[in-house]
Amino acid sequence: MKKSRKSPKRIFLTLNIGLLLGMAAACGSNIGAPIGSAHATEGIAISAPATRITEPKAQQVAVFAGGCFWGVEAVFERVKGVTRVESGYSGDTKATADYNLVSAGRTKHAESVRIYYDPARVSYNDLLHIFFSVAHDPTQLNRQGPDRGKQYRTAIFPANAAQKNAARTYIAQLGKASYWKKPIVTKIEPFSFYPAESYHQDFMVKNPRHPYIVQWDKPKIANLNRLFASRAR
């Protein structure tokens, strides 16, 4: 009896179908689902951090989690003073920083972004301001827009004590101002970051017509340009 052999074409199709199904599970498995708050699509004008932060002159990093990393990455890639942005996972170990595990909710990771920035051009406080205003909705618990699960939670992973204090102080400031009808649920967690798979990097740049990007993420860029015109590229 002859052994059956898959043709290269069949293998290629199988791999790509698996990849597409996986990508849908990570971001956009509920494309078209109603969003829980208008702020995530409209953006919201909020006050900047009232307390100053002292930072080193050398390049710094900031790590934020605010739902699907595609859109959060795209927002910060368009901020002046930001030199590089990576999509990845924060909140658990390197061993579990795997797309299939995270997207299935089988780890403690959150989809996150690591932002490299020049403090002389944009401060950590500036990044916090943008994060809470246009990058995501800080009042959605364990979800963001159409995506559900702890992997889509809102969280900040400070790289040092100054960032931790700045984040805590700003969350308190925003809470007192009552910009949202619901309370802010953003958590401050220990620093960690592991880069995601290569096909997630620069996703909006590579896939500008992806249905999820068009519906949920391009409005964030429009809000960045509208509310932070002087800081947007």
- 168-177: long-range pairs with CB below 8 Å, 24+: 169/49, 169/50, 169/51, 170/49, 170/51, 170/125, 170/128, 170/129, 170/132, 173/47, 173/49, 173/50, 173/51, 174/46, 174/47, 174/132, 174/138, 177/46, 177/47
What's this model's pTM, rounded to 2 decimal places? Answer: 0.86
Which tens digit of pLDDT belongs to each residue from 134-150?
Answer: 999 999 999 998 999 99
More reliable by pLDDT, 51 or 9: 51
- Say what percent of the chain tops pLDDT 70: 83
pLDDT of residue 113: 98
Domain regions of the chain by residue span: 38-227
Helix ranges (H only) for 49-193 are 69-77, 99-103, 124-130, 161-177
CATH number of 38-227: 3.30.1060.10
Q: What is the pLDDT of residues 26-74, one digit of tens each?
A: 576 654 444 434 344 578 999 999 999 999 999 999 999 999 999 999 9
pLDDT digits (tens, 9 = 90+) for 83-96: 999 999 999 999 99
Catalytic-role residue among 27, 68, 72, 113:
68
Asked if 27 is an active-site residue, the reply is no
